[in-house]
Chain A
């Protein structure tokens, strides 16, 4: 088992670097060719989310990307923005939906999250995205076309392309775990 760790300054330009490294390492590790696009997308989404989060909060600490190959191929993306908006509820999701007029997308995202991840505690992507969307709305960023949509869509994409996805919220940040099989 070997781990490669990248520390990315939270700049949008570096997300592409993360994608390139992840897909190169996934290929070398023996992840099925058909899954490489999914790896690239998922890493891009997880890192883009972390970078957006760091920028919103003015956090200059690096986003940490850990890639490990062993019996399978795992990627963990860690941000260091403390959990400031805990306790989002479905009511707040509905509020956001009505604010943005895109309830179809919300429903789709929540459906995807529920389908993919069994946990219903704070590890659930649905609760996770609700929290972050609420935060963006409260910060007034929803005025910028595409902000809220990007957060929701990012989760839908993650849930859609990673079969084994786990979100770990900690006091000092969030860790997004992703895992893919390696062919024999």
Chain B
């Protein structure tokens, strides 16, 4: 399986739906897509990892790099992730302290005050 990315603009935020495998092969695609959204002026990004089958350190690194970039621009990048497998990875790497992680897109939007 490859990676599938779909973004949709909502009033005040943009949701990026990620599906498939995010690894050393596919992570550059994710990085470029997020960079495009930031370049296009989107500042509140919600990255939905619900349909991700697999993510490795390259994928996590892209998310951290993108978060730093979003913050430099005065924006935000929050994660949606209900899967224990991915949550475990975030805990192992300490990234659960770096990102705001929500169970659903609605939770993310409400909490960041954009809904």
Q: How far is the CA of A32 from the CA of B94 in the complex (A)?
A: 26
Q: How far is the CA of A105 from the CA of B98 in the complex (A)?
A: 8
Question: When the two chains form their complex, are residues B58 and A48 in contact, meaning their CB atoms are under 8 A apart?
Answer: yes
Question: When the two chains form their complex, are residues A153 and B31 in contact, meaning their CB atoms are under 8 A apart?
Answer: no
Q: How far is the CA of A12 from the CA of B43 in the complex (A)?
A: 30
Within A102-147, the residues touching B (CB, 8 Å) are 102, 104-105, 107-109, 112, 144-147
Question: When the two chains form their complex, are residues A153 and B25 in contact, meaning their CB atoms are under 8 A apart?
Answer: no
Question: When the two chains form their complex, are residues A145 and B25 in contact, meaning their CB atoms are under 8 A apart?
Answer: no
Classify chain B: how many residues form its interface, as a range: 20 to 34
Choose one: B31, B66, B68, B89; the contact of A101 (CB below 8 Å).
B68
B interface, over-half SS: helix
Question: When the two chains form their complex, are residues A12 and B56 in contact, meaning their CB atoms are under 8 A apart?
Answer: no
Choose one: A37, A40, A48, A100; the contact of B57 (CB below 8 Å).
A48
Choose one: B25, B60, B62; the contact of A13 (CB below 8 Å).
B25
Question: When the two chains form their complex, are residues A153 and B57 in contact, meaning their CB atoms are under 8 A apart?
Answer: yes
Q: Which residue of B lies closest to A12 (CB)?
A: B25
Q: How far is the CA of A154 from the CA of B60 in the complex (A)?
A: 9
Choose one: A12, A37, A100, A151; the contact of B23 (CB below 8 Å).
A12
Question: When the two chains form their complex, are residues B60 and A149 in contact, meaning their CB atoms are under 8 A apart?
Answer: yes
Q: How far is the CA of A37 from the CA of B77 in the complex (A)?
A: 27
Q: Which residue of A lies closest to B25 (CB)?
A: A12
Question: When the two chains form their complex, are residues A154 and B64 in contact, meaning their CB atoms are under 8 A apart?
Answer: no
Find chain A residues with CB under 8 A from B89 CB: 41, 157
Within B48-74, the residues touching A (CB, 8 Å) are 54, 56-58, 60-66, 68-69
Question: When the two chains form their complex, are residues A16 and B23 in contact, meaning their CB atoms are under 8 A apart?
Answer: yes
Q: Given contacts A102-B64, A150-B61, A154-B57, is CB(A145)–CB(B24) below 8 Å? A: no
Find chain A residues with CB under 8 A from B97 CB: 104
- Given contacts A105-B64, A147-B65, A150-B61, 16 further A-B pairs with CB under 8 A are A12-B23, A12-B25, A16-B23, A44-B23, A48-B23, A104-B94, A145-B69, A146-B31, A146-B61, A146-B62, A148-B61, A150-B58, A153-B93, A154-B57, A154-B58, A160-B93
Q: What would 24 A/B residue contacts be, using CB atoms closer than 8 Å? A: A12-B23, A12-B25, A15-B23, A15-B25, A37-B85, A48-B58, A105-B64, A105-B95, A107-B94, A109-B93, A144-B65, A145-B62, A145-B66, A146-B58, A146-B61, A146-B63, A149-B61, A149-B64, A150-B61, A154-B56, A154-B58, A154-B61, A156-B94, A157-B89
